[in-house]
A = this chain, B = another copy of it.
Amino acid sequence: MHDTAHSRLQRWEDRTELPLLAASLLFLAGYAVLVLADGTQGPWRDVGLLAVAVTWACFVLDYAVRLRLSRLRPLRFVRRHWLDTVVLVLPLLRPLRVVKVYAAVRRRHDQPRLSLHARVITYAGLSAALLGFAGALAVYQQERGAAGASIRTFGDAVWWACATLTTVGYGDVAPVTPLGRVIAAALMACGLALLGAVTGSFASWLLDVFGREGDDEAPGR
């Protein structure tokens, strides 16, 4: 791709990454309000709906601008930026863009404050937590009404998400609707890899600290 195009795309991404992060958090909050306020009176549903609609519009706009700036043929752009395309259609998966967010944050203050392992643990852990929260909301929305559902309250859904992401899987609560199970399978796949990264980084961090003479980088000192 042209160097100028690349640099302009780069500049746009640097400028928009953090606003987009804020937007996705807002999207998640709006979706939460939408789901939890469902069936209640009052303005909450409309508020949630508004937040979701506005933020989604932002995502579409950003995608369009980047498609334009990249000067690539649409299909080529979609293939190369497949992850962005997926999270454009399913904004609940935005936490998966952890690497982009990390890159954007790092560009702000070039000197990373945390050690490599701590960074991976932080970003992967946060992404997994956000994914789990989004998954709990989506599954709760599906299961709430279902007959013979074991996930009845949102608390159940969060508890289910914890047991699923850690692969403990008690099975005391589990989705029963087809769509709920599809969402659950997606959550398993994504969350598993993210939490595996957390565990693995922690393990090698511990090996590092125990191997070094001093343990000056021990967290929480």
Contact = CB atoms under 8 A, between A and B. Distances in A.
Contacts of A100: 215, 218, 221
B178 A166 contact: no
B197 A203 contact: yes
A22 B119 CA distance: 33
A30 to B, nearest CB: 24
A104 to B, nearest CB: 10
A74 interface: no
A178 B85 CA distance: 38
Contact of A162 (B171, B188, B200, B202): B188
Interface of A: 80-86, 97, 99-100, 102-103, 116-117, 119-120, 123-124, 155, 159, 162-164, 166-172, 174, 176, 178, 181, 184-185, 188-189, 192-193, 195-204, 206-207, 209-211, 214-215, 218-221
